[in-house]
Structure 1
């Protein structure tokens, strides 16, 4: 999997035109979330700050993302890389030091730091009780600063002045494939629209509404 590396993430997000949509999510039950470049950067920085300050994450730290193909997966994957840590997905080997998950009970009682992430867009805190020692990846995240509280390597990015990249429609199947395709689009100054799997006519409607000009080549494989 082609993954973002620490020197690239924050410079790229900082160089983006801040008001342009960069991540749009169509979930089940009509859920729609849209993050501009500025808002996506803020989410990523807050999540990276939490990982660094509360979990001692940094270069070489293995962080497992036990999350489905979802917009929150993309935010946390960028945050892990921004902090210089290593993303583990699916069957990736390695022993994680930190686990970011929407099922914290899977990891309770272990020796890893657990960050519990609720998936609903409007969630501002984990619903219900958390396992002992687990962090709330919604409430604890929102209390973090909007600027990096860690040493972010890499040169400052220059704002793109050329034609914007494609707005790409991606279906949320496999987490690793979603991250790879989204990052490839963002590196070309693009924007992604991510939708949970649905019928062809519904996909076509979303593509037309969002002005998506490129289709996900992985669709249907």
Structure 2
């Protein structure tokens, strides 16, 4: 049985024994911020566009705060709402997930937009996202977070809306760790289960503070989500996300791993 299937059963919730006492996934980011806000935490490569972006813990936290304010204030998202997240493994996806968890919104990876309260979509899934009856946000996923050349009808352009948001976020209500936070692989996990699973997965993968993880896995599975975001965050490690990368075994990935001082590789 996979890790997420065990958590989803409802009868086996692992104790929280690490991660600085974190109870929700957003707490994991706050713990990292307290330890070393200047260290790199997410490095992103898109080999189709040539993009490379590196975010420190402080910069990631700033983006998350702005996005959470957008969710809470402009999109009227509230704890318990469901967000269909139709995005690849990307630095902006990490921001949206942490923003959802900061507000208390349930992030549904690849979820049906027609059954969601809001939808967050990349350029390749706009037709599906348009079925959402609530708010719809589009991400161009262009280098440096650039805007859409032409805004898709019925959507807000994330790159246009987020800059004016506040740099600090305070939820209107405390986030309940026992409410659903993530739907993935057919399982519904609470915030406490996601956090405990991240901590356990970090231990299983042998991650520790200073570890550097390279992942080419998508975020729509528990394996990919933990390898590319949650486990490094829980361990105080950092991650190198690679999109449109060469297949495993290609020398270019070996060169990148060496240049980025990678200690663990997945994908």
Please give the TM-score of this superposition, normalised by the length of structure 1: 0.83
Return the offset for 1:164: 2.7
The one of 60, 73, 85 aligned to 2:80: 60
Matches within 5 A, 1:26-45: 26-28=45-47, 29-45=49-65
Q: Is the 8 A contact 2:89 2:241 kept in 1?
A: no
| CA RMSD, Structure 1 to Structure 2 (Å) | 2.6
The one of 188, 192, 205 aligned to 2:235: 188
Partner Cα separation in structure 1 for residue 70 and residue 61 of structure 2? 14
The one of 205, 214, 224 aligned to 1:178: 224
Q: Is the 8 A contact 1:6 1:152 kept in 2?
A: no
Partner Cα separation in structure 2 for residue 94 and residue 183 of structure 1? 27
The one of 1, 6, 17 aligned to 2:36: 17
The one of 121, 138, 155 aligned to 2:143: 121
Return the offset for 1:7: 5.8
The one of 193, 198, 204 aligned to 2:246: 198
Q: Is the 8 A contact 2:24 2:101 kept in 1?
A: yes
Q: Mean alpha-carbon deviation: is it higher for 200-209 or for 98-107?
A: 98-107
- The 3-state SS of whatever aligns with 2:258 is helix
Note if 1:138 corresponds to 2:159. yes
Q: Mean alpha-carbon deviation: is it higher for 42-51 or for 87-96?
A: 87-96
Unaligned stretches of 5+ in structure 1?
155-162
Partner Cα separation in structure 1 for residue 150 and residue 127 of structure 2? 12
The number of equivalent residue pairs is 208
Structure 1 or 2: more helix by fraction: 2
The one of 71, 93, 97 aligned to 1:51: 71
Q: 2:134: which partner in 1?
A: 112
